[in-house]
Structure 1
């Protein structure tokens, strides 16, 4: 049984496999990356050369003949060195900008590709996953995951790699020019710094995870509450929602406090290591200068090297911590890509192709057969029990029964949102498990009981039934759904925004939008799931006429509670506990004096 959300990695290790998943997206631009890497190397070479120019300037100015130097032609030497120093600094900036520009395009395209892949993958996952997911936490993890990829790529390439390159060059120069002790102090301090950073960061990774988990949880709670704004108001539970949200925020606060304290310990230890290393190097250099083994320029060079080395190294600690956090964030993003749908097309899945209405004078070609179908969401709780019935081409068949009898489950099985656990469903003798899901659902149109609209214009919500439809086709669908008068009464007409989930429209108006969508889709099979449940009697009659008009020459399945809306059905199936207990036309069922007859009399007495 699937968990209530996608899997979380609770262990303390980081999934470094994320690099392997990201690299293929980067290597699509090999030439651009090669030029960016060349600029990176040249930048570091220029950066390492800079202290040598500074040394030459200081040594030239410190010469014993500096009084004569000012009046001689040699005065041009320190000025030339100063100019060279400025040009090298400028080249470092220019090369870094070129590198950032070239590689930035690669990173942004990779993020775009990965984001699109995750989005498409989420739409390919089955209904069960989406019924159990938490939208707020999911969106937050996707957000943090894509941001993490951006950070990981930029700083791995622009900070860690260049800094490591600079360390190798500087340690080599110090060893060759100034002896083993300068190289050992530098290398030892760097290795100690890195080891401490890794150790401390590994310890605090769990605090990063706790903070992220609390952040997602509080965000999920807030979004869930705001989506159900009306329900909160109906039951005057504003304070309850605020208290529940505050509890989530309190957990987040505690996690952030632990996170901050661990960060203090990490930063303090890193600062101590840097201070000891800088003091030791400068002390050793000062002794060498006083002994006459080094010039004042050498002292300045070593000081410049250490500052130049430890500034990015200090930043490297921050980058490493953030990369660890980014990898933790990326884990959930890539775990989504690891999710597999319970419903998937078979390797040799065929296309379900049916004649479209209007192409000839023949009746619909869509014959639906439920053959000994069984289904259960859980093993111990069967919903459908060996159910069999036939809907002939062009027929209108209604399904009625008490709540929980399995009516809506039949619709989900027909759409193949779930796989049957026994028997099979066939359309024109084709098992729907053998055809592609896209071709199956393309042939079925539905008007659901609870219509959810996009936070977009009325026109775009109707056009969603067929995104290639012209404005004239959309207007015709609106007219057939008896929605034209309502549209004409709106100040902005078809450009009216319907609000999130269509909250600005009434239930009846939303259902008419759903009917217009289905008309525009022009499917071969129509499913009406309590399609008129939110309409008044006058609107209901108008919609029923529209439904009957659009259902001509199509196979129709009507899930109904109000029996007066299905009296003209070719066949009515009465369900109870996942099985058909009665079936026949309206008159035949009344004559049986069974369950349908009781339901009819009860509803007639209520009118």
Structure 2
């Protein structure tokens, strides 16, 4: 932003404010804890989610047990119909032993069977009805959990989005100078959306899976401790596999989203400057750069998804091994009469349900990793150093004359490269102060210090006798109007863009500002007049007309101090003269700072400051500075005289002093 050794020189333009991919991977736990803290703001809703999720899981957990009872009723009815009627169960068991069917007799002895009695279909029907009721109630509770959790998740993301928006307004200008715009946009859009989707899809499953594991484990232990040990044998292997994959996949997800941000930054840059790209026939270079970055994103995404995708098939394999072991041991226990067939059937269902939550965790593992990686990138913004807080209590100038004093001001973007070392100047009310000098002299930096876009290292800057560091930034900037070299319009009508300087302005005041700044001259010929809609890039109006609109915006604010940073650089000579006339109308009792490269625009300035390397090397009026034959004299010669021989310098000076311009 600065032409005087700005932060681009200090930090490297295009450098990311975020950390290198994978550097924050070690903060997976703290990042998750931070997300949980955000969710904790909705404690009552979270408690309701846990309670209803637990109830839903418990009801579902009873389902296999009840179904196992139905299986027992069927099996006992089939066995009972095969035994002679009129006998007791013990008599039937003794008879089977005498016939040499000891294994069958052991099984019958463990069953609740009545010899000669078949299947009790009424009992089976009531049991199945109970199962339907259990599953229906569980589904209803699960739906309620999803509804509440959806509200909690979206409210949390809304809060986080608000925090990011508020944080952006508290960040110093240096942060934006060292951060690619596309990278920042990617964080506040793509990463927030990804975190929202990840939370929405994983939290519900995670809560349900944890409760399911606990409930199913309790039910399995009540059926058979032995089979429970068999079922738990593969769990440590699943945990180890998940931990190993997590360690390897986390850096890849960080790299994936970092590459996404870089790609977005490149696309945004190429789109914004598409005319320049075509003008220099750099389409191929842009496409090549895009392909390289796209390839990096593809590689990072592929590695992240492939690595995390290993979890689910691994857990499924271990689950199948678990199923085989349970079926084998359970079958032996049924044959020995230690367990009923219905109990084994229920346990097998439980074992499948026990591994299912682990499989679900594996399937959403990549979402969790991706969401946390995005959260870390968002937290990078929230944790960035903010601008210094406003003074409390703050001071307010008693007058609005616009007298600005720099008293031995020193400033540098980095400690290793001082820019302004000892700058002192006085800008009297109503004066037009022009700032000229070569590129990199520190002209824009000087006015940025007035606006407190950067904080000075030492010295003081006062406005109407009050140190600007003791004023609130809003109060200071409300007294200051600024028009930049790069004009920027917002999407909306021309009237809306002018009114941005004062949202409370009346239509008459807007029209007055437009007339003074000569916007009215070209708006009147537009079909929709002041209701003409323009986009963010100012499409539909020329570069000079865009600048006039931004000047009208500043005029409408009626500031105490006016700052024009190369405001006439993009307008033609006639428009430049119109702007100068408009400036003359507003200079009464107002201090004006004008940064200009074209010295023709500052000939009438009350004071001209010539800056070199951050210092004011000359100060005076146009005629006084020319007479000094110093830095201003050399700038003037370089602009209006063209190359000149040393022998001809005397005649050239005479031509300048007489008001002529030598071609």
- Name the TM-score, length of structure 2 as normaliser: 0.83
Within the candidate set 181, 184, 188, 1:142 is matched to 188
Q: Deviations over 1:308-339 (max 9, x none)?
A: 22222211112334223322221121121111
Q: Deviations over 1:235-259 (max 9, x none)?
A: 0000110011101112222223433
Does residue 122 (structure 1) correspond to residue 122 (structure 2)? The answer is no
Q: 1:411 to 1:89 in 2, by over 3 A?
A: same
Does residue 399 (structure 1) correspond to residue 435 (structure 2)? The answer is yes
1:172, 1:183 within 8 Å by CA — same for their partners in 2? no
Within the candidate set 364, 377, 382, 1:337 is matched to 382
Deviation at 1:94, TM superposition (A): 1.1
Does residue 45 (structure 1) correspond to residue 58 (structure 2)? The answer is yes
Q: Deviations over 1:332-383 (max 9, x none)?
A: 2112111113x4135535143454xxxxxxxx42210111223233445433
1:134, 1:220 within 8 Å by CA — same for their partners in 2? yes
Deviation at 1:134, TM superposition (A): 1.4
1:282, 1:302 within 8 Å by CA — same for their partners in 2? no
Range that drifts further, 240-249 or 294-303: 294-303
1:477, 1:516 within 8 Å by CA — same for their partners in 2? yes
Q: 1:495 to 1:297 in 2, by over 3 A?
A: farther
Deviation at 1:446, TM superposition (A): 0.7
Counterpart CA distance in 2 for 1:108 and 1:217 is 27
Q: 1:283 to 1:470 in 2, by over 3 A?
A: farther
Which secondary structure state, in structure 2, belongs to the residue aligned with residue 539 of structure 1? helix
Number of the residue aligned with 2:69: 56
Does residue 28 (structure 1) correspond to residue 41 (structure 2)? The answer is yes
Number of the residue aligned with 2:648: none
Number of the residue aligned with 1:18: 31
Range that drifts further, 389-398 or 9-18: 9-18
Counterpart CA distance in 1 for 2:531 and 2:352 is 61
Does residue 174 (structure 1) correspond to residue 230 (structure 2)? The answer is no
Q: 1:520 to 1:606 in 2, by over 3 A?
A: farther
Q: 1:15 to 1:347 in 2, by over 3 A?
A: farther
Q: 1:577 to 1:64 in 2, by over 3 A?
A: closer
Which secondary structure state, in structure 1, belongs to the residue aligned with residue 236 of structure 2? helix
Number of the residue aligned with 2:98: none
Number of the residue aligned with 1:451: 487
Q: Provide the aligned C-alpha RMSD in A.
A: 2.8
Does residue 226 (structure 1) correspond to residue 271 (structure 2)? The answer is yes
Counterpart CA distance in 2 for 1:144 and 1:406 is 37
Range that drifts further, 163-172 or 578-587: 578-587
Number of the residue aligned with 1:389: 425
Range that drifts further, 111-120 or 281-290: 281-290
Deviation at 1:131, TM superposition (A): 0.7
Which secondary structure state, in structure 2, belongs to the residue aligned with residue 466 of structure 1? coil
Number of the residue aligned with 1:372: 408
Does residue 111 (structure 1) correspond to residue 157 (structure 2)? The answer is yes
Q: Structure 2: state its 5+ residue gaps.
A: 1-9, 86-113, 641-659
Counterpart CA distance in 2 for 1:347 and 1:26 is 33
Q: 1:463 to 1:313 in 2, by over 3 A?
A: same
Range that drifts further, 99-108 or 591-600: 591-600
Aligned residue runs from structure 1 range 389-538, under 5 A:
389-538=425-574
Q: Deviations over 1:531-579 (max 9, x none)?
A: 2222222222222222222232211111123333333322222333333
Which secondary structure state, in structure 1, belongs to the residue aligned with residue 229 of structure 2? helix
Counterpart CA distance in 2 for 1:461 and 1:171 is 65
Q: 1:188 to 1:147 in 2, by over 3 A?
A: farther
Q: Deviations over 1:504-537 (max 9, x none)?
A: 4322111111111101222111111222222222
Q: 1:24 to 1:423 in 2, by over 3 A?
A: same
Does residue 348 (structure 1) correspond to residue 348 (structure 2)? The answer is no
Which secondary structure state, in structure 2, belongs to the residue aligned with residue 527 of structure 1? strand
Counterpart CA distance in 2 for 1:568 and 1:270 is 80
Does residue 306 (structure 1) correspond to residue 351 (structure 2)? The answer is yes
Counterpart CA distance in 2 for 1:239 and 1:207 is 29
Counterpart CA distance in 2 for 1:175 and 1:384 is 76
Range that drifts further, 321-330 or 343-352: 343-352
Which secondary structure state, in structure 2, belongs to the residue aligned with residue 426 of structure 1? strand
2:410, 2:459 within 8 Å by CA — same for their partners in 1? yes
Which secondary structure state, in structure 1, belongs to the residue aligned with residue 27 of structure 2? coil
Number of the residue aligned with 1:358: none
Number of the residue aligned with 2:576: 540
Q: 1:167 to 1:142 in 2, by over 3 A?
A: same
Number of the residue aligned with 1:5: 16
Number of the residue aligned with 1:325: 370
Bigger radius of gyration: 2
Number of the residue aligned with 1:284: 329
Deviation at 1:45, TM superposition (A): 0.8
1:16, 1:327 within 8 Å by CA — same for their partners in 2? no
Q: 1:265 to 1:110 in 2, by over 3 A?
A: closer
Counterpart CA distance in 1 for 2:310 and 2:601 is 71
Q: 1:394 to 1:213 in 2, by over 3 A?
A: same
Which secondary structure state, in structure 1, belongs to the residue aligned with residue 661 of structure 2? helix
Deviation at 1:16, TM superposition (A): 1.8
Aligned residue runs from structure 1 range 93-104, under 5 A:
93-104=139-150
Number of the residue aligned with 1:359: none
Aligned length: 596
Counterpart CA distance in 2 for 1:105 and 1:428 is 52
Q: 1:85 to 1:233 in 2, by over 3 A?
A: same
Number of the residue aligned with 2:651: none
Q: Deviations over 1:396-425 (max 9, x none)?
A: 222222333222121111112222233221
Deviation at 1:594, TM superposition (A): 4.4
Number of the residue aligned with 1:361: none
Counterpart CA distance in 1 for 2:11 and 2:436 is 31
Counterpart CA distance in 2 for 1:458 and 1:55 is 75
Range that drifts further, 4-13 or 240-249: 4-13
Q: 1:598 to 1:272 in 2, by over 3 A?
A: closer
2:436, 2:596 within 8 Å by CA — same for their partners in 1? yes
Counterpart CA distance in 2 for 1:340 and 1:592 is 46
Counterpart CA distance in 2 for 1:286 and 1:485 is 95
Counterpart CA distance in 1 for 2:163 and 2:24 is 26
2:412, 2:457 within 8 Å by CA — same for their partners in 1? yes
Within the candidate set 127, 130, 133, 2:179 is matched to 133
Which secondary structure state, in structure 1, belongs to the residue aligned with residue 410 of structure 2? strand
Deviation at 1:39, TM superposition (A): 1.0
Q: 1:535 to 1:150 in 2, by over 3 A?
A: closer
- Name the TM-score, length of structure 1 as normaliser: 0.90
Q: Deviations over 1:436-469 (max 9, x none)?
A: 2222122110111111223443333222222343
